[in-house]
A and B are shown apart, each in its own frame.
Chain A
Amino acid sequence: MTAQTVKKLPDLGPTKKLKLPKETERKLPNGLTVLAIRRPAVPLVEVRLRVPFGRANLARAALLSQTLFSGTAEKSTVEIAAELQSVGGGLSAGVDPDRLMISGNGLVSGLDRLLEVLAEVLTGAAFPADEVSTERSRLIDRIQVAQSQPSHLARVALLKRMYGKHPYAVQTPEADQVRAVRPAQIRALHGERLHPAGATLVLVGDINPERAIDAAEKALGTWNGGGKQADLPPVPELVPGPLTLVDRPSAVQSSLRMALPAVRRTHEDHAVLQLANLLFGGYFSSRWVENIREDKGYTYGPSSGIEHSEAGSALIVAAEVATEVTGPALLETFYELGRLASLPPKDEELEQARQYALGTLQLGMSTQSGLASLASTYAGSGLRLDYLAEHAARLAKATRDDVAAAAARYLAPSQAVTVLLGDASKVEQPLRALTAVERA
């Protein structure tokens, strides 16, 4: 280039100490835990209600979440929605194998109304036959569309390989199962499982925490405290074996998925494993992304991350790669996993990952919605946000040796469960050159 003065990268300013928001907490007599955090940045409030829902029937639970706001004895779907809207609010429900989550937000001036509507559906959702029928058809259509999405198909195949007979092995219902669900079954599931025991309500925003909790107690204090709980068995260990190849004829890309062992948030290896994952593929400036995207151009958005569920955690590696480079992309993935599991990382790449982990912790807490989701997620692991101080300290003191040991323990490619969805007629031979393959 031309003879310009070379400019030097400016140093960072002094690191600001991690400031954790104050969480105010009260456990109501009916078993509901309420957590409130004041962050007055904008005049809104964020709401997250997490109710344990493990082992619930998939089809019934999915339809319950889609019809929870579809009317009570007094109000129709439209009336409920209009009432929420009138205070700038919105609420929606979703389920996964661990919990039912109701999340939403609204103008903070409408918090009382938002909580009242929430209480009305929690105690009095009627699941009217007509509305259930509408939502059942919509859900069936959505399942049909999901089954044409490569990301969904790859995930279904991966979960099956990872979890065998564990309830996590299947996380989405089939259309026929949904078709068979009757309103009475949803009502029964509601009666059995939608209870405050073990549930956590998080409120974050321009609130006075004590008063917000009072409002929650007023609205939700009479929510029924009974109901049954279901414990999930711990997840089985991953059983590595041949790569599972799922045929998707004429796919122009292959969906590569791998699962590796991981530990819970409360485990002493959690922070070092987070760093090891970052070094491998957990952020853009990782070895794997720099290799298969920025050097080779095989893919657009490869990612690897640790998924924490109630019954266990796993490290999931995912990339969509061009069909013609499927073999080479798998080779580079094995190589980068193997390299990290076998050789210690360099100081500067560890420092870079450490700064990223610490910095993004700050970013994640800088919005009301981010803070609410974080508080709710941690509550789901039985943790409070003050745990982040401990976690940050662990991130700060992790050494190269610690990260190398974690990588050897968790990232070794020999332990991986691997699934690939793609055009088998084009990719099977290249894959067989690298590893044993079985057809799904």
Chain B
Amino acid sequence: MARRSRIPATKYPVERRTLDNGLRVVLAPDRSAPVIGVAVVYDVGIRSEPEGRTGFAHLFEHLMFQGSENLEKLAHFRHVQGSGGTFNGSTHLDYTDYFETLPSNALERALFLEADRMRGPRLTEENLRNQVDVVKEEIRVNVLNRPYGGFPWLKLPPVMFDTFPNAHDGYGSFDDLESATVSDAAEFFDRYYACGNAVLSVSGDLDIDGAMELIERHFGDVPARPAPQRPSFAEPDLTAERRESYTDPLAPLPAVAAGWRIPDPVNDFAGYLPYVVLAEVLTDGDASRLVERLVLRDRTVTSVGGYIGFLGEPYEVRDPTAFLLQAHLPPGGDSDKVMRTIDEELDRLATDGLADGELARTQARMATHLLRDTDAVLGRALRMAVLEQQRGEPALLNELPRLVGEVTEAQIREAAAALRPQRRASIEVVPGAGA
């Protein structure tokens, strides 16, 4: 058997600049297709929203699409789509992103649109009430009107964490959403949407000098405002196991998810990366440890998944975060038994190590996923923006397949050994639908 597939890498050139007003810019030219990805990432997310305002970071993201200094409501959408492009935004634990993919002849237009809302969104009572309604429908679609809504990303954090920033529901309660005011929004913008707190990233069909000239033209006059001090969200690790359960009235079958704290993704990347690989060793495909054992052999679960962070983005999250496993069980399934088997498999991995070729094939598949993520101009722009924001290191994008490939068996065993039951938080879904 071949010892390992050679892990290939990308060589996207990455240019970093900072404007006089403090806005950081990352450019990655690639002229293989006539398209561009534009992303603006602000260093504020779910963890930064104030108590009594759960869901506010996300609600505010919606408000950033409701018109800005020179643009009426609806204008942003129409200008992007009327240029042949697509757009969206999303709110994460540690950042909020706004982005477009467009034919490259629309580069200047996209920069104009992002600069305009960076100077200031139009915050009105009418738009706020409208978007509170829209967000409530979003929560109904994704959480309240379907089985397993919010499992585990909204359900496990309150078991695992004790402080409001880490534990609260990031989609928000309807009460909190309805209590939000225009002045809350203005304050949130003032505090967090400073250009010193943002990164602009453009990838694709561009040349650096031409793009920088356009960026200066449109963002150069955004008033300089410094980034707020980012508080520490650190919490001590668990010293005793925590388990909770809840009844999901729409779920027909049981499910369980467990999380363990892991090293700081940014300040201890070398200590952290083995956990990212371990998640794949355990759950990537039919040849992975837990799929083979739980799904194929024991048949105690119908599916099992492992990943890092509640939103599943290992390279876009800060401390504290978690290593997560989740499983869906057959009718009458026993989640205690599933957890015991997981412990047993982690022990086996820590004690006996990996089979010949097991790590190398997992790393090869991870390389494919990483390369595939960055094939899309937007995937590249977004990842580089966050890597710049959280690490000052956007070119890490080119290095990730190699770094993943350098994780050793000893590191995997050590990571597996650290996932002890007494450090674990878990949440069980009790099926409430007539089964």
- A residues within 8 Å of B by Cβ? 1, 4, 6-16, 19, 39-44, 69, 77-82, 84-90, 105-107, 109-110, 131, 134, 137-138, 141-142, 144-145, 147-151, 251-253, 283-285, 290, 293-301, 320-322, 351-352, 355-356, 358-360, 362-363, 365-370
Per the bound structure, the CA–CA distance linking A7 and B108 in Å amounts to: 13
Report the nearest A residue to B374, measured CB to CB. Answer: A42
Which single member of A148, A297, A320, A363 contacts B35 (CB below 8 Å)?
A363
New contact pairs (17) apart from A84-B285, A359-B83, A368-B372, CB-CB < 8 Å: A7-B112, A15-B103, A16-B103, A19-B34, A40-B32, A77-B286, A78-B296, A86-B5, A88-B5, A90-B368, A134-B296, A141-B302, A144-B331, A253-B145, A284-B77, A284-B87, A355-B83
Closest to B66 in A: A294
Query: Is A148 a contact partner of B5 (Cβ separation < 8 A)?
Result: no
Alpha-carbon distance A283/B85, docked complex (angstroms): 11
Within 8 A of A (CB), among B332-375: 357-358, 360-362, 364-365, 367-368, 371-372, 374-375
Decide yes or no: A9 and B109 within 8 Å by CB, A283-B81, A301-B141 being known contacts. Answer: yes
Q: Mark B235-249, 1 if CB is under 8 A from A, else 0.
A: 000000000000000
Q: Is the CB of A4 within 8 A of B367?
A: no
Q: Which of A81, A89, A252, A370 contacts B140 (CB 8 A)?
A: A252
User: Are B130 and A297 closer than 8 Å at their CB atoms?
Assistant: yes
B250 smallest CB distance to A (angstroms): 6
Q: Which residues of B contact A79 (CB under 8 A)?
A: 287
The 5 tightest CB contacts between A and B, nearest first, are A359-B84, A297-B133, A13-B105, A352-B82, A81-B286
B116 on the A face (CB < 8 A): yes
Pull 23 A–B residue pairs with CB atoms less than 8 Å apart, ordered by A. A1-B122, A7-B70, A10-B109, A12-B105, A19-B34, A82-B357, A88-B364, A88-B368, A107-B364, A109-B8, A141-B253, A141-B328, A148-B251, A253-B141, A290-B74, A300-B137, A300-B141, A322-B136, A352-B82, A356-B84, A362-B34, A363-B84, A366-B377
Among candidates A19, A105, A134, A151, residue contacting B368 with C-beta atoms closer than 8 Å:
A105
Q: Which chain A residues lie closer than 8 Å to B331 at the CB level?
A: 141, 144
Report Cα–Cα, A253/B105, bound state, in Å.
41
Tell me the number of A-to-B contacts counted with CB atoms below 8 Å.
249
Report B-chain residues with C-beta under 8 Å of the C-beta of A294. Answer: 73-74, 130, 134
Q: Which residues does chain B contribute within 8 Å of A290, judged by CB atoms?
A: 74
| CB pair A285 B147 closer than 8 Å | no
| B331 (CB) vs chain A CBs: closest residue | A141
Say whether, besides A7-B116, A145-B253, A355-B82, A138 and B302 are in contact (CB < 8 Å).
yes
In the assembled complex, how far is the CB of residue A91 from the closest CB belonging to chain B, in whole angstroms? Answer: 10
The complex places the Cα of A294 from the Cα of B252 at a distance, in Å, of 35
- Whether, in the assembled complex, B190 has its beta carbon less than 8 Å from a beta carbon of chain A, the answer is no
Of chain A, the residue at the smallest CB distance from B120 is A1
What does the 1/0 interface line of B141-165 toward A look like (CB < 8 Å)?
Answer: 1001111100000000000000000
- With a CB–CB cut-off of 8 A, which chain B residues contact A300? 134-135, 137-138, 140-141
Say whether A105 contacts B372, CB under 8 Å.
yes
A-contact 0/1 string along B365-402, CB 8 Å cutoff: 10110011011110000000000000000000000000
B322 CB, nearest partner CB in chain A, Å = 25
Q: Closest residue of chain B to A150, judged by CB? A: B145
* Set of chain B residues within 8 Å of A87, measured between Cβ atoms: 5, 364
B330 within 8 A of A: yes
Contacts of B106 in A (CB 8 A): 12-13, 359
In the bound complex, what is the Cα–Cα distance between A301 and B8 (angstroms)?
A: 39
Report the separation of the CA atoms of residues A370 and B137 in the bound assembly, to the nearest whole angstrom.
30
